[in-house]
Structure formats: C-alpha cells, structure tokens
Structure 1
Amino acid sequence: MTISFHDLSRMTGAARDALLKRTEADISSFEVKVRPIIEAVRSEGDEALARFAREFDKSPVDAGSIAATEADFARAEKTLDPKVREALAFMARSIRKFHEDQKPEEMWFHEIQPGVFAGDRTTAIPSVACYIPRGKGAFPSSVLMQTTPAKVAGVKDIVIITPPGPDGKIDDATLVAARMVGVEKVFKAGGAQGIAAVAYGTRTVPKCSKVVGPGSPWVGAAKRLVSHVIDVGTPAGPSELIVLADDTADGRLAALDLIIESEHGPDSSAFLVTWSRKVAEDAIAAIPDFWKQMGAQRAGYSATVLGGPMGGIVLARDEAEAIAFCNDYAPEHLGVHSDEPFQYLGRLEHAGEILLGRHTPPTLGNFTIGVNHVLPTSGWAKTGSPLTVHDFMKRTSVAYVTAKGYPELARHAEVIATYEGFDGHANAVSETRARLLRRNR
C-alpha cells in the first residue's frame, strides 16, 4: 500500500484546503431513517428497544431484559481477565485524580465594588446518559472516561446505554468498569433507539437531562432530532491525529504514533506533519513493518487512512508552515515529537489535546494518563474542549447588593432601562423603590 505524500510547497491553496477536510458523513441523510426509530421508542418504549436490538444488533433481547442485572455484574466480575481488571483499575485512578483536580470550587463571591457582591455557584446537573459504542469492539475505557467526571461532578443519576452483543449480553469489561465508578444503571440500548430512550424515557430506561459520548451517524442524527428535549453536548466524529515532528525527531517513532488513530476505522484521519524530509522518509519506510505487527482488520483500516486523502505525510517548507497547518486543522489529538517539545506549545493554538514528547504517545492519553479521551473532532477544537467535569456541572450567578451599594447601581440602571424602553425595569429602580425602601427601614 502506497502512503500518501503531501508536499505543501507544490500544492495550490485549494489542494491544501482539501487536506483540512474530514470524512464527513451526511448525517441529514440518516435523519429520514432515524425519525421512525425515535417515534417507535417514544410510543412503544421497551418493546421497541428490544425489537431494534434484535433487528439491528442481531441480539436476542426482549423487553424484560434491557437492564443489566446483579447476576450480569457478578458474571462479569468473575469472568473478566484479572489483568484487564487491574489495568482498568489503574486507569480509573488516573482519570479520577485528573478530574478531581479539574473540579471548580463550589462557589466564589467577591465584592465587585463597595456594597456590591457577585459570584458563581457551581452545581451538578441532575442526570446524564453515557453512550458507549460497540460497533468496532468493546470500549470499557470510554465507560471510565465518561462516567468518572460525571461522578466527580456530583451527578446523582448516571446511566450507561450501549448496544448488546450477539449473545444478548453487555460486555464484561463495560460492566466491571461501570461498577468501579459506582454506576449500576446499564442498559442494552444502542444506536438511535438508545438516544431516543434517554431523551423520552421508557418503563426501564430513565429520561435524562443530557447525553454524552461518541457514536455512529445514526447516533449523531438521533441526537440532532432530540436536541430540543435533551442536551446532546458537543458532536464527536471519527478519530483524527496530527503528529508534528521537527528535525530532531525519530521518523520511526513518529510513524509508530501515526498508526494509533489511523487504526480506528477507514473514516479516521492521521497526518505526520514535518519540515524534515529525512523524518518523512524514515516514517514512510517504517510504516509497512508496523502494519505487519498488527491484525489484518486494524492494519487494513490504517492502510486505508494513510494511503488516502485524509492521511499520510505532510511535508512543510519550514516550521512556521507546519505549525500553521496544525492550527488550521485543529486536530482531535496532536502529538509533538522533538527533543524540546515545549518550545512549540505556545504556538499550537487549536487541538483537543497536545501530547508532548516521544514518551507521550496517544495511547497513554487514550487510556492511562487521566486526561479525557472524549475530544472535539472535525475542527471543533477551535471552539470546543475535551469532555470535563464542567460538562456535568452548571453555573448559577449569585448577587447581593447592600443599602450602601444600591444607589449608584440603580441610578445608572434606570438610565439604561429608560433608553431601551423598558418602563417596568426603570420603575423598579426609580424614586418609587427608594420611597418603599425608606418605609421598610
């Protein structure tokens, strides 16, 4: 398989812009298919969930077996490989520590000017559904990444929705990870039907205030259609990565990291961006050998990505051009390979996460450092952020004005209210209020 090579010095502006595009599914085309699924769940509830599990997931689920039972949790604890459990426990501790440090103070309250106090109080949202995909495998890491910040934030009602397997069961590691965090409500409800279930509620699945987590175009279309009844968060698309490597980098190590996100699926994006032709050539030479160390499916995904228009090697004229490309791309993951990676940090403006140095591959970010791996994709890193404790909390403004602080604020507020034509606003801070306040002393 030939690896795509993109030389920015020989590209037109239009060709460079084409490199910035992601594999975009036309979600609107899925809405026609998704709409009747949502309506069926809304009207039939659990019966529809079970029917769609049998139809779409080829899973023997009935309306009475949608929720994970205590027996399911016990089976998972007993059968899961102890090494997997140990690794998940390590991951859980790292994620909890990071998000505990991230949690904002419950309230700040400052004197803005004499007699005028204002601040924010931060509290948890009441409930959240965490969508755990299963199309290309099982992802207990996503369980920990989504439920842990919700738990740290103080969300009282956390549920997990996930497609059942062909045996009608929920993945063992998913159940073990859920219980590690203290989440007991896990439901066999994948795809659009799962999103509909937490948006409207069924006899078994509770209606939630928000839903988070990545999914297929079916999930994306469903979120769009129910966004008027549930907070659907930031959209999450296919995986994407840029490895930025300078002339001190080892092209073979850069290639090793480049494969990480390219193996997610054929719709992923992965570029090595460098101004060193030697680094580029060393990477190209190394990649085929790394593919040989992988299973056929994942190697095939990676080859499709790195040999197509959404991946490969990008050779820049110089450092400035390489960094400009990274910022324009705004990748989900951005790895920096250099003897001195921190020298570039201040100029890298847009990325879901920045992983500095040759000892910080995306694998560690995805699993064990503790930073969240639910990240903005498709350029949303220019305005969006990783999933954090803040996504499960809300701020309430709090203010208190004393008798001393009131007069000056009221004087200016009355002027503005009058200018904008709000008579009631103006009257509430006029001499009328002053007279009433004097009577209540």
Structure 2
Amino acid sequence: MKINFYELEKLSQSEIVQLFKRSEIDIADLKKLVQPIIQDVRDRGDLALIEYNKKFDKAKMTVDQLKVTEAEFEQARNNLDPEVKKVIEMSATNIKKFHHAQMPEEMWFTQIDDGIMAGEKITPITSVGIYVPRGKGSFPSVMLMLCIPAIIANVPKVIVCTPPTADGGVDDASLFTAEICGVKEVYKVGGAQAIAAMAYGTDNIPKVHKALGPGSSYVSAAKRLLYGTIDVGTPAGPSESIILCDETIDPQLAALDLLIEAEHGQDSTALLVTHSREVANQVQALLPDLINDLPKERKDFCQTVMSNYGGIVLTPNLEASLQFVNDFAPEHLEVLVKEPMAVLNKIVNAGEILLGPHTPITIGNFSLGVNAILPTGGFAKTFSCVTVYDFLKRSSIGYVTQEGYNKIKDTARKFAEYEGFPSHANAISKRNINSRS
C-alpha cells in the first residue's frame, strides 16, 4: 500500500508546489464540463433538472416531484430510528447554543464627536439556499450546520437542495433534520445543476440571493462560474485536514485521526505533519492495517488519498510544522502536541483548530457545536468558518446634528475638492440648512 512520505527539507520547490496542490484547486477542466450544465438549467429550468437527476443520480422523476411534500416529511419522522433522532437532536442543541452566542446586536451606535454618531444596523439576508451533498450516504450533520445558523439569523426564506436517492426521495435523517431546524422547503436536486437552479431560479425552485454548502469539485466549479450571479459564500469543496503532531502523541491516535477526512472521498486531502521521525514512521506502519479494516468503499478512498493528496510530512522542527500549517491553510486542523494552548497563538490559517487528543475532528464535525462547514482549497487564509454572520448583512448608519455638521463640514468639503469632485464639495459649500435640522 502506497503512503506518501515527504521530508520537507529534501523537497525541491516544484515538489513543494505539488504537495500543496489539492483537488479543488485543479478544477479548470471541470469548468468546461460544468458550464453547459449551468446554461442548460438557465435555459430549460426544471426539465433540465429532471434529466440530470436521471443521468447523475439514477432517479426517474417528474417535475412535480422536485419539492419534498408534507407527506414525505411525516414519513421520515415515522420511519427514522429513535436513536438516530436522539443523536441528531442532541447535536442540534449544542450547535444552536453555539450559534445563538454568535448573534450580534441588531443595531449599535458610537459617538465619533459631539453631534456625530455612527453605527451599524444588522439585518438578515432575504433568501438563502442551502446545498447538502449526498454522495454515497447522507449528511444530516451538514443540514444542521447550515440550517441552524440561517434560522437563528432570522433569514425569511431558507431553501435546501439535496440530491435525490435512486427512488426519487430524500433520506429520512436529512428530512427529519431539516424539519427540526425549521426548514420545510426542500428540493431534490444536486450537483452543479442545483447551484445553477438556486442562482437563476426555475418554475419550482426559487432564485435566492446566496447559496452555501460543501460539495464535490463539480459543485465548487459551478460556484466559481456563478460568482457574481449569486453570492456563493465560503468556498467549501472536498474535505481536507492536517493532523499536527509532536513526539509526545500516541501514533495510534494520530493514525486514526488522519483517516477521518481521508474516508470522505478520493478527492480528499489528509496530511500528518510532524517533526518526529519516530511518530511519522510508526503512523506509516499503522495505516495499512487500519485502512484494510475499513469497508471496501472507505478503504478504497483512504488508499487513494494516501497515495494522492494525502500522506505524511516530516519537518525539521515544530516551528517548521507550524509554518507548513499556516502556508497550507487547511480546512480542519487537529493539534496533537504536548501543550496545544501554547501553540494556538502561532496558528493563523485554518478553518477550525481542534486542540488535544480528546477533540478529534469527528466531534467537531458532528456534535461539539462549532460549525463544520469550513473554507477549503487554501481559502482559510481569507475566509472563515460558516457562522450566523454568513446569513446577516451590515448597513452603516450615520447621524450628524447641526453642531456636528459645523465641526466636520469643512473637512469633508476640502477632501472632496482635493479628489476633484466639485458636486461633492458644492453639496456642502452651497448648502443652506434650516437651524432646526
């Protein structure tokens, strides 16, 4: 079994560039495949969606079956295992608590000077589309992570698009989750065509102002092509992780956690980064048995990842490991070092930072409360994890009294004159304001 093993100090510049490459970045060719799909949805709407459901998801459906019915929600409630319901509800409680704590004041002001007030008014985005992928399974956790902050932010219209099952339905867990989050408008469509439908609207699926949610490289390509037509939010593509270790960590834990994101799909990225050769060697030795014990599909994914976008990176020291992390800007970062709090302030680029051996990515992905929809493809350098702020917008507010106007008017006028805007300047120099204003 091939497991990539990189010694950072021995890599050439071109090899380092290759190491930093991941599947989401390499989507130029996919854009050519996705563009016709987007155009087809724009031109033919629901009819195109039905054809793509059949082509990509093997689901034979009619147009009037695109939207999930109340009967389907009821069936999901009745059919879902009570234990699964309990798991979803407990996780939802933690996620709601965390996101409620994020909510800002609806409005605030500060006094800039006597008679000069400035502030912000926070309002929800009018309409948002949530994309929940399906792949080989279902992802009610993604439904929680996206629907909960949208509802807490009081978005008036929240819709969900998710790929149909082969029988033209949606899995029970996803529908149950959407319902307990407070979302009842769910549409059975996935992939690039779902992003296009939310961007342009169809007879059945409404156009929304923003679409969020992780997906395949095809979904990422569609988002990039539709940027400007719709706000596509946090770049959330194929899964990626770095497990940062020092010599104190149990290699078994490091090996187990390295496979968490690797099993998502063959286009995932999963790297172990350490300056301990002993840990690196032991993890490399442990991985084959751990991978071989997995079900075939997940085994195949992990094998592909470890020989492609994943593997082990040996650095000269902890500082070099931290620099690698910041340069890579991973979606998930797990910090398995003796004193994780001591290195926390040195980490500046990561979608999420999970500290210590009791905080594996698994807990963050499902039940901790933090949001697991995170920037991928290196975008953690400039983008943040999904929060309630993704569903809110700010409007600046200014209020100036007569006293404040007299203090600031000449400054603004002179600035306008310097930049060559006479109308700006005239609006002050020729202004005649009633003293009661």
Decide: shared fold, TM above 0.5. Answer: yes
CA–CA separation in structure 2 for the residues paired with 1:45 and 1:12: 49
Q: Match of 1:16? A: 16
Paired residues of 1:51 and 1:62 also in contact (CA < 8 A)? no
Q: Aligned equivalents of 1:237 and 1:396: distance in 2?
A: 30
In 2, Cα distance between the equivalents of 1:238 and 1:223?
A: 13
| CA shift digits 1:326-361 (9 cap, x unpaired) | 111111111011232111101111100000000000
Map 1:188-203; keep pairs closer than 5 Å. 188-203=188-203
TM-score (norm 2): 0.96
Please state if 1:379 is matched with 2:387. no
Structure 2: 5+ residue stretches without partners: none
User: SS in structure 2 opposite 1:177?
Assistant: helix
Checking the alignment, whether the CA contact within 8 Å between 2:131 and 2:212 is kept in structure 1 is: yes
2: CA distance, partners of 1:39 / 1:274: 46
Q: Deviations over 1:290-332 (max 9, x none)?
A: 2233111112211221233x22111111111111111111111
Q: 2:434 aligns to what? A: 437
Is 1:288 aligned to 2:285, yes or no? no
Output aligned runs, 1:207-222, within 5 Å. 207-222=207-222
Shift of 1:34: 3.0
Report the counterpart of residue 92 of structure 2 in structure 1: 92
2:405 is the alignment partner of 1:419 = no
Counterpart for residue 367 of structure 1: 366
The Cα offsets for residues 174-208 of structure 1, whole Å up to 9 and x where unpaired, read as 10000010100000121222122211222221111
Q: Is 1:249 the counterpart of 2:246 in the alignment? A: no
Over the matched positions of the two proteins, sequence identity in percent amounts to: 49
Which amino acid is the alignment partner of residue 58 of structure 1?
A: K
* DSSP-derived class of the 1:387 partner: coil
- Provide the residue aligned with 1:101 in structure 2: 101
Matches within 5 A, 1:118-133: 118-133=118-133
Q: Which residue is equivalent to 1:323?
A: 322
Q: Output one character per residue of 1:411-440: Cα deviation in whole Å (capped at 9) or x when no partner.
A: 11110111111111101111x21x4434x6
Deviation at 1:108, TM superposition (A): 1.4
Residue aligning to 1:42: 42
* Unpaired segments ≥5 residues, structure 1: none
SS of 2:121's equivalent in the other structure is strand
Q: AA paired with 1:409?
A: I
Moved more, 200-209 or 346-355: 200-209
Structure-2 change in CA distance of 1:204 and 1:378 (3 Å): same
CA distance, structure 2, for counterparts of residue 224 and residue 317 of structure 1: 37
SS of residue paired to 2:63: coil
Partner of 1:398: 397
Aligned to 1:114: 114
Give aligned pairs, total. 437
Report the alpha carbon displacement of residue 166 of structure 1 after superposing the two structures with TM: 0.5
Secondary structure, counterpart of 1:372 in structure 2? coil
Matched residue, 1:339: 338
How is 1:256-335 mapped onto 2 (pairs within 5 angstroms)? 256-308=256-308, 310-335=309-334
Mean Cα displacement is larger for which, 35-44 or 129-138? 35-44
Of residues 46-55 and 236-245 in structure 1, the stretch that sits farther from structure 2 once superposed is: 46-55
Aligned with 1:64: secondary structure? helix
Instruction: Describe how 1:165-176 pairs up with structure 2 within 5 A.
Output: 165-176=165-176
1:398–1:135: structure 2 CA closer, same or farther, 3 Å change rule? same
Verify: 1:357 aligned to 2:356, yes or no.
Answer: yes
42-51 or 365-374, which deviates more: 42-51
Q: Which amino acid aligns with 1:231?
A: D
Do the aligned residues in 2 keep the contact of 1:352 with 1:381 (CA within 8 Å)?
yes
